[in-house]
Amino acid sequence: MNGRLATWAVLGLVLLFLIGPFFIIIAASLSAGNSLAFPPQGLSLKWVIKVFEIESFRASFGMSMFLAIFGTLAALALGVPAAYGLNRYKVPGAEFVRTVVSAPIIVPGIIVGLALLRYLVIPTGVGIGPALFLAHTALILPYAVRVVSASLENLRTDIEEAAVLLGCTRFGAFRRVVLPNIRGGVLAAFILGFVTSFNQVPVSLFLSGPGVRTLPVDMIAYMEINYDPSVAALSALLAFMSVAIVFAAEKFLGFSKYV
């Protein structure tokens, strides 16, 4: 009995430390006062509404959504064939390919952003937007390859061999046999890539310019100048969004077994 009490006391404290701050953000964002404070000064939804009225947040939210969706799709377009090739073929230099493809996970994002700004954007005149898109794609690529590889490893190879023996082309076998079977893994990779890209800050720090800014970078810039609860409201909304995505993913596909 005593042991159980201690167990829950430890867990209570740890969860309070990890999750408690979110309740404080929610409370602070419902404040009626004009500066950030807890406990809030009166209750109102004015800061939640204000978030949607701030022009730059709307623009940067769109930018982040675009990057998260299309950057992840591009990473999957590169990563799914690569994972399939690495798992099913004898590729010369496979170990090297694996290292190169997973390199973006090892290199801190801020360095990638800076390197792309200095050696891609400035000399070639490529816009910051396209560079940001390429950077996010590269960043998600390792996750795409890893998660899809894991589900390919769990898929028996004899069913696709059977399909090929029965006259299917290699591509046909991939499309009609393999792809339906790794659908869950691909979807899990998409969700992981989406969340990673959407929350990513360092890569986008240097890759920002007039009108091109991701939402988290915009939030940091805004809070350097303003001390009002609108960032609290936005943070609360983003937290709800992430929680909703994770719950839906867990419910419909058992997300946690892929990650």
Q: Is 143 in the site for another protein (CB under 8 A)?
A: no
Q: Is cis: bond before 21, omega within 30 of 0? A: no
Three-class SS state of 85: helix
Task: Name the token pair of 219.
Answer: 């939030």
Q: Give, in degrees to the nearest 5, the angle at Cα 196 between 77 and 64.
A: 85
Site stretch for another protein (CB under 8 A), options 22-30, 46-54, 65-73, 176-184: 22-30
Q: Give, in degrees to the nearest 5, the angle at Cα 210 between 209 and 211.
A: 105
Three-class SS state of 202: helix
Nearest approach in angstroms of CB 106 to another protein is: 5
One residue of 54, 120, 177, 253 binding another protein per CB under 8 A = 120
Closer to another protein at the Cβ: 45 or 243?
Answer: 243
How many residues touch another protein (CB under 8 A)? 86
User: Which residue bears the tokens 């890569």?
Assistant: 203
Q: Is 148 in the site for another protein (CB under 8 A)?
A: no
Nearest approach in angstroms of CB 190 to another protein is: 14
Three-class SS state of 208: coil
Burial of residue 90, with CB atoms counted within 10 A of its CB: 0-12 exposed, 13-18 middle, 19 or more buried: exposed
Site stretch for another protein (CB under 8 A), options 44-52, 53-61, 147-155, 195-203: 195-203
One residue of 86, 132, 178, 189 binding another protein per CB under 8 A = 86
One residue of 116, 148, 182, 187 binding another protein per CB under 8 A = 116
Q: Is 36 in the site for another protein (CB under 8 A)?
A: yes
Site stretch for another protein (CB under 8 A), options 51-59, 94-102, 147-155, 175-183: 94-102
Nearest approach in angstroms of CB 171 to another protein is: 10
Between CA 167 and CA 16 the distance in angstroms is 59
Site stretch for another protein (CB under 8 A), options 53-61, 147-155, 180-188, 233-241: 233-241
Closest CA to 198 of 140, 256, 258: 140
Q: Is 163 in the site for another protein (CB under 8 A)?
A: no
Between CA 168 and CA 165 the distance in angstroms is 7
Nearest approach in angstroms of CB 119 to another protein is: 4
Q: What are phi and psi of 31, to 5 degrees?
A: -70, 150
Q: Is cis: bond before 92, omega within 30 of 0? A: no
One residue of 140, 163, 188, 205 binding another protein per CB under 8 A = 205
One residue of 91, 168, 177, 253 binding another protein per CB under 8 A = 91
Burial of residue 29, with CB atoms counted within 10 A of its CB: 0-12 exposed, 13-18 middle, 19 or more buried: buried
Residues between 48 and 77 that touch another protein (CB under 8 A): none
Nearest approach in angstroms of CB 184 to another protein is: 18
Nearest approach in angstroms of CB 258 to another protein is: 13
Between CA 205 and CA 216 the distance in angstroms is 9
